[in-house]
Amino acid sequence: MQKYWSNKDIDLTQFIQKIEEFFKDNLFDIKLKRTENICHLTAKNSANYILDGQVELIITGQPQNFTVNFELQRTRSRLSQFPIIGTTLFGGGYFLFRNAKYYEEEWNQLKQDFWDYTEKTVAKLAGTAHMQT
């Protein structure tokens, strides 16, 4: 999912720090790579959100106009490597479905929490880019 903000005059350094804090506060292992106009963050292994992959977050743009792209890069579970017929023969189909539903609920909760936090952060930081010294 991607969101775009315009005319916000955000200090992107502060914004990225706040986004990084969100993931740290939620006990994710994170890696952050920054260039002049792009920030790439990967987050995985949270104790608060059990996901079947890692979060990929890319922030691009300038203080006035910027974009946040937030996606889940799913990994194949070990159970999904077995043929469906074999798992349903042994009653595993139910557990595969239940597992997938649980992961999807966790991902949906993280998305909601992340976008709520991001919207509040943008509102708090609006107009901060011109305050840089």
Per-residue pLDDT tens over the stretch 89-107: 555 555 555 567 888 999 9
Mean pLDDT taken over the chain: 86
The pLDDT score that the predictor gives to residue 78 is: 47
Distance of alpha carbon 39 from alpha carbon 77, whole angstroms: 29
Q: Please check whether residue 131 lies inside any domain of the structure.
A: no
Stated pTM of the model: 0.81
For residue 95, tell me if it sits in a domain: yes
Residue 31 counted as domain residue: yes
Count of CB atoms situated within 10 Å of the CB of 41:
20
Spans of the chain, pLDDT less than 50: 78, 81, 85-87, 133
Number of domains forming the structure of the chain: 1
Domain containing residue 39: 2-126
